[in-house]
Structures are given as structure tokens and as C-alpha cells.
Amino acid sequence: MLKPITCDVAVIGAGSAGLAAYRAAKAEGARTLLIEAGPGGTTCARFGCMPSKLLLAAARAARDADRASTFGIKTEGVVVHGRAVMARVQRERDGFVADVLKEMSDIPAADKVHGRARFAGPDTLTVDDHTLITAGAIVIATGARPVVPQDLRDACQERVVTHETVFDLETLPRTLAVIGAGPLGLELALAFSRLGVKTTLFDEGDRIGAVRDPVVASAVRETFEQALKLELGVHVQAKRKADGDILLSWTDQGKARRGTFEYVLDAAGRAPAVDHLDLNLTGLPLGDTGVPTFDAQTLRCGASSIFIAGDVNDARPVLHEASLQGELAGRNAARRRRRRLQKRDPMPSLAIVYSDPDIAAVGAPWDEEAARDWVIGCSADVGRARVDAKTPGVLRLYADAGSGALIGGEMFGPDVEHLAHLLAWAVQLSLTAKDVLALPFYHPTVEEGLRTALRDIADQGSR
């Protein structure tokens, strides 16, 4: 017998988007339920942003110690203790997860339902075999999960890891194959390589870190070819060896290649976690990935009372976007009958890869056709980077040739995570290169690289 519950808003998933949706709906005075099937803790804290940055921090410490001789400082040799590295990653990660779980524990018990939710209709959900929920509106915030090809999973068995399992390793592997050269794969491949793991990064395409600007892409590839082994434009096949290691085979420019690895990290992609929701019972049209079509401005699915937020909608799968979307979806779900739905404020996209030197993309993505109407500013020499013995990289900023307004850019270099924020603010405020050049720049800082690119735009006659 299912226990019936009626509410104004039901939120499926207690990750970053789901928690934000719950808080927003409650703030609107809506009777809100939060449904979670797993242990909670959010992707960011448990599997994503925080453990990966913990591993990257260890890798940066090892690399900096190793290159201390550049500054005339002699060391007796760097020794990486794999178990200690992973123990700190897990200890600090568990602390971040505990903080999120504490937030969840503060939610009233009457507002929480534990179990797997499925749609029984456009406004009804069943949770496992114990609860039937009728809701005025529903927010889908179930996130995304790694996709591992079945043949790879069958071949590697427990030796295939994803971003959800790699941080549970007791020690660093001897050898590692990373499949997928996107932001996640690149970050983790570099981290393990700098910690002394013999690492090879594979991808079927030829792009690294999702970089699109050809000038930036060239600099990225040239730099990281020196940091780890790259095998791009290849398809790998896996076979389990008698000793448990994995034999990978691929073809490189017509030549058969192979290598043996202790672990394979699959970072080739994530898929919206919707396969368990029975979305076919909502009556909504579904896209190729099984996700309902939705309005990106309101996050409403069609003309229904269903909203979708966070990684599950695959629009901008990063934490700050998940939180913003969750807040908007929760607010609109609560307001759906009382007033017009709120639309999200225009905001330039902002993506950062913590590859050290970092990669960042802001606003309008590179497009060869569209670039004919752009003024492009470039900077490839930053004095502060030379002082710190860091790769200077390259910055490319884009401005509209007509209005002079900055519209975006791609960057590669030290601390561009900070420069990307400055550019994103300038783009959102519709500032021109000359507008930003009128603001203070201190010397010597990496921000001067941004100033050089802005001057390049201004010198070309842009406003």
C-alpha cells in the first residue's frame, strides 16, 4: 500500500541543483518535498570539483618541488607517497561531503522522502514501493552519470574507473590510461602524471580540453605533449591480461600500437540520469538523450508543470550553473499558477579547466564564420609568468566589430581562472576594450596579459 502525500513542489534529486530548487521553492512559501535515492553529498563534493582539485593540488606540490632547481634551489629528490596522497584526498573529500550532509540533515524530516522516484503521470510520482506523491509542480534535478562502454566494462571489470570511483583508490596506480581528452580527462591525466603515474591520454577526436580557438588549441597541445603521452584521433580496444592488467590496442597513422595499464579511467562522457524516471508517462516529447525538451529561459518542460535543472539537462554542466538553474526552477515551480514565470538573466557562459596552466572559455565560442565580424586581440607574453617560470600561454579576446563590445574569448596560461572572471564581467556589462583599459591594472601581474590583448583590440580601431 503506497502512502499518499500531496505537495506544491516535488524536487527529484538532492544535488547542487536539487538543494537550490528546494530552498527556492520553500522561500516562496510552497509545501516542498525533496526526494533522494542515494547517500547525498552532491556530485561536486563527492565525485567532482572538490576531490579532483585535491588531487590537482597534490600534483602541483609535486611538480613545484621537482622544478625548484629552476630557481637555484636544490632538493634531494621528490618522493610521492601514493597512499598518503590518496588518504588526504579522501579525508578532505569526506569533510566536504559531511558539510553537505549537514545541510541536508537540517531539512525537516517531513520534507524529505528517501527512495527512487518514478513518474506515474504528469503530476504524480511513486517512490520505491512506499510512497505516492501528487505534486502541483515537479523539478527534475537527478544529475548525470559516467557512461562506460559495455565492451570496456566487460574487459576491464574492476580495473575500469570513472570520476565516481577513481578517488576511492587506496594508492596511486603504476600506469593509467585516460580515455577522453575533455576537461575532466585532461585534469585527471595531468594530475596523475605529475604525481609520477605513467599516464597516456586517449581521445577519438583531436581536441584537448574542449578548446575551439585554433591558436589557443595549438598552444595547449604543444604544452601538454611535454607533460604526458597523447594519443589523439584513435579508437582503443581493451583486453584483460592474465595478471589483471589491461592491454589496450589502437591504430596510429595506420600503425598498430598497444600498451599495458594497471587501470583505465573512462572520462569520455556523462549522460543525463533519466533512464529510471519513466518520463514516457509524463506525455512530454523527449530528445535524443531521453531528456524532455525545455525552455532554457524558464527551465519549464513544454507547457507542463515539470521543470528541469542542473547537469541532467546537459545545458551547462558545472556547479555554479546547477545552483543557478536549481534556484530558478524551484522558484518557477512554486510560482507557476500565481504569476508569470521568471526568466534567467542574460549571462555569458564561463568554463574553466584546472590544467595548470589553466584553460578558460568565456562568452561567444570560437566560430570561423562568425569571427569575420570580430576584432580579435591576442597576448602571448606575460612578464609575471616568466618571473614565476610558468608557461605564458596565449590569450585571445573577441570584440564585436560594429559595437566594439567584448563578446568572449579563450585563454590558456597561469591563473587564467581569474582572468576569465574579469572577462565574463566585462562581457555581461557590454564593456568595450577601451572601457576596460580605463580601469586599473597593477604591475607585475598576470592581469597585464589581459591588458595586452585589450590594447591589441583597441589598436585595431575597435572602440
CATH number 2.30.30.30 given to 3-146+271-335: no
Neighbours of 183 (CB within 10 A): 23
Number of residues that make up the chain = 463
pLDDT above 90: residue 397: yes
Q: Which of 183-187, 194-198, 261-265, 270-274 has the lowest mean pLDDT?
A: 270-274
Of 341, 270, 276, the C-alpha closest to 305 is: 341
Q: Give residue 456's identity as a one-letter amino acid code.
A: D
**pLDDT tens digit sequence for 192-220:** 999 999 999 999 999 999 999 999 999 99
Q: Which of 11-25, 192-206, 278-292, 313-327 has the lowest mean pLDDT?
A: 313-327
Neighbours of 459 (CB within 10 A): 11
- Contacts with 448 (C-beta within 8 Å, 6 or more apart), sequence order: 382, 383, 384, 441
Q: What percent of the chain has pLDDT over 90?
A: 73
What's the pLDDT at 153? 83
Report, as an integer, the average pLDDT of 246-275.
Answer: 92
What's the pLDDT at 315? 74
What stretch(es) of the chain map to CATH 3.50.50.60? 3-146+271-335, 150-268
What stretch(es) of the chain map to CATH 3.30.390.30? 350-459
Predicted confidence band of residue 255 (pLDDT cuts 50, 70, 90): confident
Report, as an integer, the average pLDDT of 65-84.
Answer: 90
Instruction: Enter the pTM of the model.
Output: 0.93
Report, as an integer, the average pLDDT of 254-270.
Answer: 92
What's the pLDDT at 320? 76
Please report, for residues 49, 179, 184, 456, the alpha-carbon distance to residue 208 in angstroms, rounded to integers and kept in the order given. 19, 12, 10, 26
What's the pLDDT at 292? 93
Per mean pLDDT, which of 71-75, 101-105, 123-127 is the most reliable? Answer: 123-127
pLDDT above 70: residue 462: no
Predicted confidence band of residue 172 (pLDDT cuts 50, 70, 90): very high
**pLDDT tens digit sequence for 28-69:** 999 999 999 987 767 787 888 899 999 999 999 999 998 888
> What class does CATH assign to 350-459?
alpha beta
- Indicate the pairing of strand 229-232 with strand 198-203: parallel
**pLDDT tens digit sequence for 227-239:** 999 999 999 999 9
pLDDT, the chain, mean: 92
Between 433 and 156, where is the model more confident?
Answer: 433
Question: Hey, which CATH number is domain 150-268, 3.50.50.60, 3.40.630.10, 1.20.1560.10, 1.10.10.10?
Answer: 3.50.50.60
- Determine contact, residues 96/167, Cβ cutoff 8 Å: no
Predicted confidence band of residue 101 (pLDDT cuts 50, 70, 90): confident
What's the pLDDT at 389? 82
Q: Is 282 helix (H, G, I), strand (E, B) or coil?
A: helix
- Determine contact, residues 31/161, Cβ cutoff 8 Å: no
**pLDDT tens digit sequence for 128-160:** 999 999 999 999 999 999 988 888 888 888 899
Max intra-chain CA distance, the chain: 74
What's the pLDDT at 38? 81
